[in-house]
Amino acid sequence: MAEELPDERTARLKSTFAEIDTDGDGYISESELKRHFPDLPPEALGAMSQAADSDQDGRYSLEEFIRTVS
């Protein structure tokens, strides 16, 4: 894969985040994640929430999301 400019990458991640954040509150909840990835097994969700939810508030901020996928 070609290397991307960080700005482009951030912009793309932001739009992905907005897509998953269906109620637009600025956080991705587990149910929004499940709605967006219906085929994701519960184990994957659990592993992801442990790794991604660094402040342990049960939802993903944009910052946590970017940190996790980048």
Name the site residues for Ca ion (rule: CB under 5 A). Answer: 21, 23, 25, 27, 53, 55, 57
**In the complex, least distance from residue 53 CB atom to Ca ion, rounded to whole angstroms:** 4
| Whole-number Cα distances in Å, 9 to 12, 17, 43, 50, 70 | 5, 12, 28, 24, 9
Query: To the nearest whole angstrom, how small is the minimum distance from the Cβ of residue 2 to Ca ion?
Result: 31
58: CB partners within 8 A, 6+ apart: 29, 30, 49
Q: Compare residues 4 and 57 and give the one whose CB is closer to Ca ion.
A: 57
Considering beta carbons, is residue 30 or 53 the nearer one to Ca ion? 53
